[in-house]
């Protein structure tokens, strides 16, 4: 495993997920940048810190839109192994979650506006218990999310019989 990628035994999510992350980041950061411009022009124009606020907001926003999505994508993976779903994400805060199918209570496939725009979906697994009782695997193709949901559902039915 390299320092900047998911373990080799995991499958990556859809490459289009990077664009969905970028779009979400842009929706967040562009208004912040615009507000910073207005505040700078209205309140800070004659001060020694003139232009500092929009430059900072722009630099942070540009980084969040251009750099962060690639890093998030490279560190997100999953595996289905018999009776387990494993999800791995994060770099600074690394999370490796294993969900035994017998703990699954119900499964959803969700698609928000950006997911629909970029052709991705999220698998949401609700489990028994309180800690990590909801495990979300974003960035799947809608077909793959439905396929995983059906595989887990089939396994749950087999255990119930």
Separation between Cα atoms, residue 75 and residue 60, nearest integer Å: 21
Q: At what angle do helices 17-39 and 52-66 cross, to 10 degrees?
A: 180
The predicted-structure confidence for 9-64, as pLDDT tens digits, reads as follows: 899 999 999 999 999 999 999 999 999 999 999 999 999 999 999 999 999 999 99
pLDDT digits (tens, 9 = 90+) for 59-72: 999 999 999 999 99
In this predicted model, what pLDDT tens digit does every residue of 71-105 receive, in sequence order? 999 999 999 988 899 999 997 899 999 999 999 99
Q: Which residue has the tokens 């209570």?
A: 105
Domain boundaries, the chain: 12-72, 76-160
What the block records as the tokens of 113 is 């506006």
Phi-psi region of 61 (alpha: psi -120 to 50; beta: other; left: phi over 0): alpha
Q: How many CB atoms lie within 10 A of CB 148?
A: 19
Taking every pair of Cα atoms in the chain, the longest distance, rounded to a whole number of angstroms, is 75
Q: What CA–CA distance (Å, rounded) separates 122 from 95?
A: 17
CATH number attached to the domain at 76-160: 2.30.29.30
> Which residue(s) pair with 107 in the sheet?
125
In sequence order, the 6+-apart residues with CB closer than 8 A to the CB of 27 are none
pLDDT for 91 equals 78
């Amino acid at each position: 495993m390299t320092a900047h990628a998911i373990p080799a035994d995991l499958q990556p999510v859809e490459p289009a997920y990077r664009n969905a992350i970028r779009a979400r980041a842009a929706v967040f950061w562009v208004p912040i940048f615009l507000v910073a411009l207005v505040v700078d022009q209205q309140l800070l124009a004659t001060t020694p810190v003139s232009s500092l606020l929009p430059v900072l907001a722009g630099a942070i926003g540009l980084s969040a839109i251009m750099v962060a999505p690639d890093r998030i994508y490279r560190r997100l993976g999953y595996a289905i192994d018999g009776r387990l779903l494993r999800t791995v994400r994060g770099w600074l805060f690394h999370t490796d979650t294993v969900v035994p199918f017998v703990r699954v209570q119900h499964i959803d496939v969700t698609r928000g506006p950006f997911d629909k725009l970029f052709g991705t979906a999220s698998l949401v697994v609700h489990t028994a218990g309180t800690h990590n009782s909801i495990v979300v695997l974003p960035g799947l193709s809608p077909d793959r999310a439905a396929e995983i949901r059906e595989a887990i559902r089939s396994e749950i039915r087999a255990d119930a019989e």
